Amino acid sequence: MLTFKCTQKVRDYLSLAPDELTDYEVNSDSVLGDWYVNLIVIDRRKCLLFMNDRTLLSFLATGFKKSEGLKHDVYEVFIHHLFNLYKLLELPLDGLNQVMDDYLEYGYSKTASKKLLGNMNDLAHLYQVNIAYNGGIAKCDLTKIIWLMNHTPQANLNHQYSVDLAKALLLSKSDMK
């Protein structure tokens, strides 16, 4: 099961009631694990920042509208962007089927780690700065920025790239079969 570990901003934006949240202490047993979600504003547009809790892989989702069904649409937005991230970062496709099987069900919870929230805040700032430097959300090449963010050494990963750690996890899982 996939758990979206949501910041307070996301929980408020999606109007998630406390009874709609799962136990945030339980971590996913899926290959990549759970994903943190934050709502950030870039050029007066709301964007969802997704960050993987095991690898710090990240991507930004834009172009959605707030609606009654948004809390259900977040899953569709996530899956769509996850496929694009797989292609962009050339992640092993062997692991994609396992990840998709792991993510057939989903739920929401509160964030569980201040350390990971710190990483997410750093990523949010880096996305905002890179987008502004490259002409704003309407003019920048967001794909290139997402690629760059995932090829930036992460101190919490012993200065490894998020993409390399994700590839290693996916390859090790497919080798076990």
Residue with tokens 């919490």: 156
The stretch 28-39 carries a mean pLDDT of: 88
Check residues 66 and 59 and name the one with the higher pLDDT: 59
Q: Where are the domains of the chain?
A: 2-175
Q: What is the pLDDT of residue 176?
A: 53
CB-CB contact of 61 with 148 (8 Å): no
∠70-71-76 over CA atoms, to 5°? 75
pTM given for the model: 0.93
| CATH number assigned to the domain covering 2-175 | 3.30.420
CA distance 3 to 21: 9
Q: Which of 103, 49, 57, 113 is nearest to 79 (CA)?
A: 103
Check residues 117 and 29 and name the one with the higher pLDDT: 117
Average pLDDT, the chain: 89
Q: What is the pLDDT of residue 162?
A: 96
Task: For residue 171, give every residue at least 6 positions away whose Cβ sits within 8 Å of its Cβ, in sequence order, or none.
Answer: 92, 94, 95
The stretch 50-76 carries a mean pLDDT of: 88
CA distance 143 to 60: 9
- Please give the radius of gyration of the chain, using alpha carbons only, rounded to the nearest integer: 15
Q: How many residues does the chain have?
A: 177
79-126 pLDDT, tens digit each? 999 999 999 999 988 778 888 888 988 999 999 889 999 999 999 999
CB-CB contact of 150 with 89 (8 Å): yes
H-type alpha helices, the chain: 8-13, 70-89, 94-102, 114-133, 142-150, 162-175
∠34-36-40 over CA atoms, to 5°? 160
Q: What is the pLDDT of residue 1?
A: 85
Q: Which of 21, 27, 3, 36 is nearest to 121 (CA)?
A: 36
